[in-house]
Amino acid sequence: MKIPMIPLRNYARDNLKNDLLSGLVVAVALVPEAIAFSFIVGINPIIGLYTAFILGLVTAILGGKPGMISGATGSVAVVLVGLAVAASAILKHAGLSGDALELGVLQYIFLTAILAGLIQILFGVLRFGKFIRLVPLPAIYGFVNGLAIVIALSQLKFFHGQDWVMVSIVIATMLIMYYLPRYTKAVPAGLVAIVVMTLVVYFGHIHTLLIGDLANLSEFKGQLPSFHIPPTLFSWEAIKMVAPYALIVALVGLIESLLTLAVLDEMSGTRGSGNRECVAQGVGNVTCGFFGAMPGCAMIGQSIINFTSGGLGRLSSATAAIGLMVLVASLTDLLNIIPVGVLVGIMFMVSIGTFEWSSFGHLKKMPPEDAFVMVVVTVITIFFDLAVAVIIGVIISALVFAWKHARIYARTKELGKNAKLYELSGPLFFGSVQSFNDTFDVENDPKVVVIDFKNARVMDSSGVEAIEKLTERYAKAGKKLTLRHLSDDCKAVLKRARANITQEEDDPGYKVARDY
């Protein structure tokens, strides 16, 4: 696979400036998210910050979509909570406690990152990224809308115990984000909001919640991730315990990453590479495991911040990752004084921008089953898990599709006194086998019967088996059945099954419908 580079020489001046500035906005926006998701898992917040740096930088260089942002995410963190509980129980039984217990749990998390990354690389190498195309549009609408609501709801916890000052900062930030782009796009509105509101709060001696109140980042000043091999990597028992969690992390991470890629494709009008993104996420997570970070995936909120701020190239996401690490390593005192209300306001605007408002218009025009899928995916994303929501959306859509097409049609023609032609139309698969069987009148048909598959397609083994059984029924009735325009693929299957059928030899090369 060709490794994409960041061609600085080919950058237009505006693109270079916008990518750098939008990357800085995202770098600041990544801080509270990384800290919050570390707290969810119950680990040191520096672990989440390392994830945002390592995974963000790797995917910036190798990823399938320029400008996508990756880091620690809530969907992956939720899976790690269960892992942390299971690992903690094992280690407590072994007699560990205190710092030793926390360090031991981290080793299981690092092992999970490595295994999940290897699974994701395998998905990319096998080119499974293309299966994101199986996610129907209503499910994508539901995912995006549900995620937008989740982003907004996740900010409400920051209002706990706060007064009108926090609300005022949030509103002021949102107003800057809304109105500034109408006058100038020379500087990202998010960066302006962060600088202005931080200066107002600092020099106005206004008491409000700051990033430093969530976690004193100054204690991590100068700390950089370092290479180490998790001792759990050599423990077969640890691998067996971690494997199910690693698989879930890999799948959840790929679903969120590929859907984020699909959303950005729609917003930008360009197409990214799902398979390359799978490999990039995998390489990034393996690297996280060896450099003391938790696994993660693409972040739709921060990716949209980057896109709407003008960050369209790989330099923007690389700047976000490197900028975050620079902030954490050397400028933690400045990070500590940024009001949380500014970041909440930015995320509220991201939520508004993420929500697919046009889906309300589509809702009126959609078939009822598509509207049902969109609503179900939205609700499940909000209250349960986005990966589960998307999978359920795909299953419902597949069942609806199968139900709609679970019928095969036939026209009949008399071919003289002793012959009859059935011209089939529609897909022959497990859902339409019963309709296929009901089409034929074996008892009353003449001695010679011809079935024309020119406008029909055999979709699966159930269809092949139905043809074979029908052939046997006509044979038992002492009648000759000939199959016309049968696909080469189906002929080969019937030949392997040694089915006793008669086929016309001058058939055109029709193929079973499949993905080439």
102 with 229, same domain: the answer is yes
Q: Could you give phi then psi for residue 25, rounded to 5 degrees? A: -60, -45
Last residue of a domain, one of 303, 333, 360: 360
Beta-carbon count within 10 A of 500 CB: 11
> 356-408: per-residue pLDDT in tens?
787 888 777 888 888 888 888 888 878 876 667 777 888 888 888 778 777 88
Would residue 386 count as lying in a domain?
Answer: no
Residue 420 identity (one-letter amino acid): K
Could you tell me how far CA 169 lies from the centroid of its own chain?
33
Q: Which domain holds residue 118?
A: 14-360
Q: Are 200 and 92 members of one domain?
A: yes
Q: Are 354 and 447 in the same domain?
A: no
* Pairing assessment for the beta strands 409-414 and 419-428 based on DSSP bridges: antiparallel
- Asked if the model's pLDDT at residue 480 lies above 60, the reply is yes
Report DSSP state, residue 422: E
Q: Which DSSP symbol is given to 481?
A: E
**Residue 390 located in a structural domain:** no
Contacts of 371 (CB under 8 A, 6+ apart): 138, 363
d(CA 420, CA 414): 5
Tell me the C-alpha to C-alpha distance, in Å, between residue 61 and each of 69, 117, 314, 436: 11, 16, 7, 53
CB burial string 347-369: b at 16+ within 10 A, e below: bbbbbebbbbeebeeeeeebeee
Shared domain check, 126 and 253:
yes
Say if residue 185 is in the same domain as residue 281: yes
Give me the CATH number covering residue 445. Answer: 3.30.750.24
Q: Which residues contact 89 (CB under 8 A, 6 or more apart)?
A: none
Helices H / strands E in the chain, number of each: 20, 7
In a domain, 341, yes or no: yes
Q: What does the H/E/C string look like for 440-469? A: CCCCCCCCEEEEEEEEEEECCHHHHHHHHH
Tell me which residue of 437, 375, 384 sits closest to 406, measured CA to CA: 437
Assess if residue 7 is contained within a domain: no
**Bridge partners (DSSP) listed for residue 210:** 339
In a domain, 402, yes or no: no
Strand order in the sheet with 448-458: 409-414, 419-428, 448-458, 480-484, 502-503
Range of lowest pLDDT (187-201, 207-221, 242-256, 437-451): 207-221
Residue 340, in any domain of the structure = yes
Task: Give the model confidence (pLDDT) of 31-76 as tens digits.
Answer: 877 877 787 787 888 899 999 999 999 999 999 999 999 999 877 8
Q: Please tell me whether residue 502 adopts helix, strand or coil conformation.
A: strand
Does 511 fall in a domain?
A: no
- 340 in the same domain as 196: yes
pTM: 0.69
Indicate the range of 28-32, 185-189, 272-276 predicted with least confidence: 185-189
Same domain? For 427 and 295 the reply is no
* 69 within some domain: yes
Is the same domain home to 439 and 329?
A: no
CA distance 346 to 191: 10
4 is written with which tokens? 């994409």
Strands (DSSP E) along 27-130, which ranges?
70-71
Over residues 125-167, the pLDDT tens digits come to 998 877 766 777 788 788 778 878 877 887 888 888 888 999 9
CA-nearest of 18, 3, 34 to 313 is 18
| The total number of structural domains that make up the chain | 2
For residues 57 and 128, membership in a common domain is answered with yes
Same domain, 438 and 345: no
3-state secondary structure of 298: strand
Q: Residue 235's closest CA among 85, 110, 117?
A: 110
**In this structure, are 413 and 330 located in the same domain?**
no
- Both 285 and 425 in one domain: the answer is no
